[in-house]
Structure 1
Amino acid sequence: MNPSLPRLLQLASPALPVGAYTYSQGLEWAVESGRVHDQASALAWIAALLEEGIGCFEAPLTAQLQRAWEAAEHGEIERLNADFLASRESSELRAETLQMGYSLRRLLHELEDFAVPSAFDALPELSFPVGWALAADVWKIPVADSLTAYLWSWCENQAMAALKAVPLGQAAGQRILLALGSRLPNVVEQALALPEECWSNFAPGLALACSCHETQYTRLFRS
């Protein structure tokens, strides 16, 4: 058995105490506005963000962060962290990645036999992908595997948000995950090969949804 597999499953588990389940990343507003109202529309919304949003910016950036940790390129890590924070279109999205980054940093300090590098603690504002990439590097998880798990965890959180907000049944949630899972290999392959000059997080619908969520009257989620 691959010795890194248990660590990979631990990192991608919903039990990871970083609070990901409290965020919908604009999906809750999409439900409120009627754009997402059933299984088909939920899948269309999440798949579009996976393939045209997170897969084209956050995914290649996270992979590059893991490579930078492996090479101890601390200046590159700082640059990519700043780029990711600057890419967050709303205050909620920025607060989300900072809260999750803070929680992951605290967790890694509390784990036995996890050597936290000083460069990690030197970042005053830590985005979540930086912490994820460090954990994947320390646990010797191959980049393709860690990125697949990173995206799967995101898909799972989005599907669970749809189950609560639409609402949808458990079987519908599993059908959504099956459909998203079938798309992951292509998204990962493209992200690993995408040069930085082609990275793009252009998703105006997501930005508007996240901005509108900030003033939404009734909310279950923090973004």
Structure 2
Amino acid sequence: MTPLALVRLLHLASPTLPVGAFSYSQGLEWQVDSGAIRSEADAGEWIAAVFDAGIAQFELPLLAALMRAWAADDPAAVRELNDDYLASREAAELRAETVQMGYSCVQLVQALDACAAVAAPLRALGEVAYPTAWSAAAVALAVPVDDALTAWAWAWAENQVMAAIKAVPLGQTAGQRLLMALGEAIPPHVARAAALPREAWSNFAPGLAIASCRHETQYSRLFRS
């Protein structure tokens, strides 16, 4: 990776990216409210399970396929993958989350000259999932696929840990221990995901779907999912 591509990747993976990721917990808040997550160990077990079942087996290989489709200028493949991701969101709030973040990412792409080449194709999709918009930006900024997948996984883990720190609550040091443990699992999952054939993708995470559905009617909450 060139130094500039690395800088661009850090930009895309930053929690300051204005897409609203901080406002979502993806079911973790309901797990806390229900009493299933009470400690650092509980939070680590939940986040690792969601990562293994959904992020590593579905989102990472889909993101790699999206980047290849963008690089090949294949709008039909991009649209199919975008539709697949939207259809994979089992709960209304999970679907709303990716659509809102996708919309915000498209607005950002349109405002950045470096991403001008993908702005019009993104608008043509209509309803855009967040991985679709983010992968378009990564390709426009010349970020290699493996590095992009690593950053995507890290940003997801970081956001989940920050949600746990606020909701459980946990201390900052506990959060860093969780991130160290989660970080160790990222490289092997990225290496596998980049070459995982489509028939082997899996988004089977019933615990996440149930937590997300229950969160939609939770009486009091900090997060939008």
TM-score scaled by length of structure 2: 0.97
Give the superposition deviation at 1:159: 0.2
Give the superposition deviation at 1:33: 1.0
Paired residues for 1:177-216 under 5 Å: 177-216=179-218
The count of corresponding residues between Structure 1 and Structure 2 is: 223
Paired residues for 1:63-82 under 5 Å: 63-82=64-83
Task: Report the Cα distance in structure 2 between the residues aligned to 1:113 and 1:154, rounded to whole angstroms.
Answer: 24
1:80 partner amino acid? L
Task: Mark the runs of 5 or more structure 1 residues left unpaired by the alignment.
Answer: none
Give the superposition deviation at 1:112: 2.9
Identity of aligned residues (%): 57
Equivalent pair of 1:101/1:130 in contact (CA under 8 Å): yes
* SS at 2:78 equivalent: helix
* SS at 1:210 equivalent: helix
Give the superposition deviation at 1:114: 2.6
Alignment RMSD: 0.9
Matching residue of 1:83: 84
2:180 partner amino acid? L
Equivalent pair of 1:109/1:116 in contact (CA under 8 Å): no
TM-score scaled by length of structure 1: 0.98
2:140 partner amino acid? V
Against the structure 1 CA distance between its residues 179 and 153, is the aligned structure 2 distance closer, same or farther, given a 3 Å change threshold?
A: same
Matching residue of 1:136: 138
Task: Mark the runs of 5 or more structure 2 residues left unpaired by the alignment.
Answer: none
Give the superposition deviation at 1:116: 3.8
* SS at 2:217 equivalent: coil
Equivalent pair of 2:114/2:140 in contact (CA under 8 Å): no
* SS at 2:115 equivalent: coil
Matching residue of 2:23: 22
1:26 partner amino acid? G
Matching residue of 1:121: 123
Task: Report the Cα distance in structure 1 between the residues aligned to 2:188 and 2:42, rounded to whole angstroms.
Answer: 22
* SS at 1:215 equivalent: coil
Q: Aligned pair 1:32/2:33, yes or no?
A: yes
